[in-house]
Amino acid sequence: MFQRLRARMGKTSDKQPEALDRDNIPEHIAIIMDGNGRWAKSRGLPRVAGHHSGMKAVKRITMAADRLGVKYLTLYAFSTENWKRPKAEVEFLMKLPQEFLAIELQELIDNNVQVRMMGYKQDLPEHTLSAVEEAVRQTEDNTGLVLNFALNYGSRKEMIEAVRLIGEDIRSGRLAPADIQESHLEKSLLSSGLPDPDLLIRTSGELRLSNFMLWQLAYSEMWFTDVYWPEFSEEHFYEAIREYQRRARRYGGL
C-alpha cells in the first residue's frame, strides 16, 4: 500500500522539473507524435491499439506542458499524406478526436486550455470535424495553454495555399510583387497568429520532418528520441526541454 502510494506520488513529484530553468521554458513546442504502430507491433497488438494508447500520451504531455507554463503546444496528429493508409486505420484515426475530447474536454476547460486546429477541414469526416469545432468553440475564450492539433495538416499544401492568397492580392492590385515580405506569407499560413516553434520533438527514431511546419521550423531547436509516442513520458518531455535549455540559439548571428 505504502509502496503503491509512493509510486503514485512519484508520478507527480519525482519528475524533476525542478532541474529546469523556469525562465527559459520554450514558448511554443511542436511534436511529431510518431511510432504508434511500431509500439503496438512490438507488443503483438494491432496498429490501432498504438493510436489508442497514444491518446494517453497526448493527455500526459498536454498537462505537463500546461504545468510548465508552455504557451503553445502543437501536436501533429494526422498529415495530408496519412490518407494513403489503409481505410480501416484512417477511419480509426478519425474517430480519436471525438473519443479524446469526450473524455478530456472538461479537464481541458477546467485547466483554461484553449483548443485549436491547424489543418484542412474540408476532407475530414463530419463527426471528426464537429467534435473538434465544438472543443474549439467551448475553449475559445480560455487564456491558458493553446493546444493546437495539426489535423490533416501538410506544410507544402499550406504554402501553396498561402501563395494562392498572395496571388489574389496581387491580381486585385492590393499588393505589388516587389513588396512581398515574410509577413505576407506568414499571415497566409494556417499557423497565422502562432509564434514559430522554439522546440520540435519527434519520437520513434525517425529523423525527418514529414511535411511538418517547414516554414515555421526555420530556426527551431530539434530534439529526436527513439522512444515510441505511446511511451513518451513527462520525463522524456523534461529531458527535451533540458536539452533545449543547454543550446545557444544564434539565428545566424554570433
Question: Which stretches of the chain bind Mg ion, using CB under 5 A?
Answer: 34
Select the residue interacting with ligand IPE from 80, 138, 142, 210 (CB under 6 A). 210
Residue 82's binding partner among Mg ion, ligand IPE, none (Cβ under 5 to 8 angstroms by kind) is: ligand IPE
All three cell numbers of 123: 476532407
Catalytic choice (21, 23, 36, 82): 82
82 is catalytic: yes
Residues 79 and 154 sit within 8 Å (Cβ to Cβ): yes
34 is catalytic: yes
Select the residue interacting with ligand IPE from 29, 58, 76, 194 (CB under 6 A). 76
Whose CB is nearest to ligand IPE?
37
CA–CA separation, 156 and 214 (whole Å): 8
Binding window for ligand IPE (CB under 6 A); candidates: 2-10, 72-80, 169-177, 245-253: 72-80
> How many residues of this chain interact with ligand IPE, rule: CB under 6 A?
17
The alpha helices in the chain, defined as continuous H runs, are 2-13, 36-42, 47-68, 87-110, 126-139, 155-171, 182-188, 234-246
Catalytic choice (21, 34, 169, 179): 34
All three cell numbers of 36: 504508434
Residues 30 and 213 sit within 8 Å (Cβ to Cβ): yes
Which of 76, 44, 83 has the alpha carbon at shortest distance from 57? 76
Stretch 21-50 residues interacting with ligand IPE (CB under 6 A): 32-38
* Residue positions annotated with a catalytic role: 34, 82
